[in-house]
Structure 1
Amino acid sequence: MNTPPCGPMVIIIANPTAGRGDGGRVARFADDLHRAGMRSVVMHTMCRGHATVLARDAVRAGTCTHIVAAGGDGTVAEVAEGVAGSDIVLGILPVGTANVLASELGIPSDAARNARAIAAGACTVIWPGRLRSSTGVSLFVQMVGVGFDAHVVHAVSLQLKRALGRLAYVYTTLRGLLAYPFMTMEVSVDGVVHPAASVIISKGRLYGGKYVLTPHSMHERTGFSVVLFGRAGVWASLRYGVALLRGRLSGQADVTILTGSTVVVATPAGLPVQADGDACGRTPLHVDLPGRALRIAV
């Protein structure tokens, strides 16, 4: 691909396993950036966490104005980890199984429109979250789950996601209902302890794509929506799932939605944790805010 002799530089960090592995879309996006007057370089991730390494290296080099995460919410979170603390603008090319943050922020999935938006220079500021679990410390941009939804994320396979897309999660959910050992956890929200069967700590209002989890987004605020599910078991989980699909989850009598800036799940230890749709270790879990917001191209 020929690049223009001048113009802002964009680094595109692409996850080749995201969605159905459509590498051609990333190439077309690079061409669209070229036509919009921007230079671009495409880098492909090779393993979990590689996007963070590539983004940090690009920030240190100081040669780009934007770094675009081409993938799902997990890829966006890894790139966010790499650009955190810098003035680099994070762009998003939604190509993952679910692209919830892009939906929340109105970022177009059409590559040409997306490239024109980045070239126009508009951006917004959002606050990611920071989590500590058995796998260490990392950022998340959309949500963290502990309990049954995290069990599903841990259990779903990459091959199944490639074959079925979002239906892979439905299939794994139905299988997991009979195998998951439902138990009560203690969730501390700003120091106040609440019992729950599952918890989702969310920056956004959507879950799994277009489904409304909470009435309000917290992306531009320094805090989280903490969704506490009061009942454990197969029938309760099915009821929560149907209520989510119908947009009525917040109206369930045994669902409590709080706001807070620090969330801790210490007991029981060993519960599965997911962050932005990727497996992220096990409890104990500590969630709070990083020291600086992110600039996102919109």
Structure 2
Amino acid sequence: MTRSACLIFNPVAGQSDPDEDLNKIVNILEPEIELDVQCTTPEKDAAQLTKTAVERGVKTIIASGGDGTLSAAAGALVETGIPLGIIPRGTANAIASALGIHDTIKAACQTILDGKIKKIDVGRCNDKPMVLLAGIGFEAKTVEEADRELKNNFGMLAYVVSGLQKLGELEPFEATIETDENTVTITATAVTIANAAPPTSILAQGPAGIVYDDGLLDLTVVTPKNQTNAIAASYELLQSAIFGESADHEDVKYIRTRYVKVTAKPAQKIVLDGEIIGETPIKVDCIPGGLTVFVPMQQD
């Protein structure tokens, strides 16, 4: 064997049988890659296991689990140059979707075996790594209140259902947005700061064509005055996600920047890569090329 890697495996991710998943991964990869398998536990998460592996001198990390597991492993690899292989087994699999990585074990393993790597940007959000995005306001509430049973049974559809339920409960807030170039204060219901985003992250789709290796963050600000406008703005963002055209609606604004700080009155909850991490204020800066990942061969 000429290659070796540490496999960080979350046995409680997703709804499939973890033993079968692990055996399948090992059977596909081990003919070509010598694996050191490390399973996450309540005491040792993916970030800790990854850091320990890096300290041991591991040259490749493979992470298998949900977005939380993948994000934690990725965060421990920022600016190390060590490539990350991604095998998604979660509910949403948003990270894999945003990076164009297939969500089946066989296809994801093949991406790693092919060996094509790419440097992508990563964000630093309140001193935490951000692979995908941070949402303020409406999106944070949607994620927080998505029903666990719905998430288990319907995956990303649960977030859509939760979002639709919340459209009638709009809670505008005053957002002060500071970038490298200027500072603006605006009344908003949602502010989304994206490094990368799958089409299912509708509230991140204002700019369309979010590029994960351009050295910039993409901000989408939704400012509807009422429920009717909120539905119209959401429709434009959905169209943007599907067809790749910038949202054209007076209540959707977007900015590209390397750095942003957002404060809110009243304070708003923040969701970072699918997890609630606290409340505003929030500071995010882009680290160009800060993470190295395995990507499918067809990507440029």
What's the TM-score once normalised by structure 1's chain length?
Answer: 0.85
CA positional deviation for 1:122: 1.2
Matched, 1:28 2:18: no
Asked if the contact 2:29/2:109 (under 8 Å) is kept, the reply is: yes
Match of 2:36 in 1: 41
- Aligned ranges 1:237-276 → 2 under 5 Å: 237-247=230-240, 250-268=247-265, 270-276=267-273
**1:27 maps to amino acid:** N
Match of 1:181 in 2: 171
State how far apart, in whole Å, the 2-side matches of 1:32 and 1:287 are.
38
Out of 146, 171, 183, which is 1:156 matched to?
146
- Aligned ranges 1:1-298 → 2 under 5 Å: 6-23=1-18, 24-35=20-31, 37-47=32-42, 50-62=45-57, 64-132=58-126, 137-179=127-169, 181-194=171-184, 195-197=186-188, 198-204=190-196, 206-208=198-200, 213=205, 214-247=207-240, 250-268=247-265, 270-290=267-287, 293-298=290-295
Q: Deviations over 1:95-117 (max 9, x none)?
A: 22222332233222232333233
Unmatched tracts of structure 2, length 5 or more: 296-300
**1:293 maps to amino acid:** G
CA positional deviation for 1:163: 2.8
**1:95 maps to amino acid:** R
State how far apart, in whole Å, the 1-side matches of 2:203 and 2:162 are.
18
Unmatched tracts of structure 1, length 5 or more: 1-5
Q: Deviations over 1:160-188 (max 9, x none)?
A: 31133222213322333344533232222
CA positional deviation for 1:29: 1.6
**1:32/1:196 Cα in 2 relative to 1: closer, same or farther (>3 Å)?**
farther
**1:83 maps to amino acid:** L
**2:56 maps to amino acid:** A
Asked if the contact 1:73/1:99 (under 8 Å) is kept, the reply is: yes
Q: Which moved more, 1:91-100 or 1:19-28?
A: 19-28
State how far apart, in whole Å, the 1-side matches of 2:33 and 2:78 are.
23
State how far apart, in whole Å, the 2-side matches of 1:86 and 1:286 are.
22
Q: What do you get for the CA RMSD once the two structures are aligned?
A: 2.6
Match of 2:298 in 1: none
State how far apart, in whole Å, the 2-side matches of 1:49 and 1:283 are.
28
**2:69 maps to amino acid:** T
Write out the 4+ residue segments of structure 1 that deviate beyond 6 Å after TM superposition. Answer: 209-212
State how far apart, in whole Å, the 1-side matches of 2:274 and 2:152 are.
15
State how far apart, in whole Å, the 1-side matches of 2:106 and 2:283 are.
39
Q: Which moved more, 1:248-257 or 1:140-149?
A: 248-257
Residue identity (%): 26
CA positional deviation for 1:232: 4.8
CA positional deviation for 1:287: 0.6
**1:296 maps to amino acid:** V
Number of aligned residues? 287
Q: Deviations over 1:219-272 (max 9, x none)?
A: 112211111112254333333333333336612222112110111112325301
**2:232 partner SS:** helix
Q: Which moved more, 1:70-79 or 1:143-152?
A: 70-79
State how far apart, in whole Å, the 2-side matches of 1:257 and 1:34 are.
45
What's the TM-score once normalised by structure 2's chain length?
Answer: 0.84
State how far apart, in whole Å, the 1-side matches of 2:59 and 2:109 are.
14
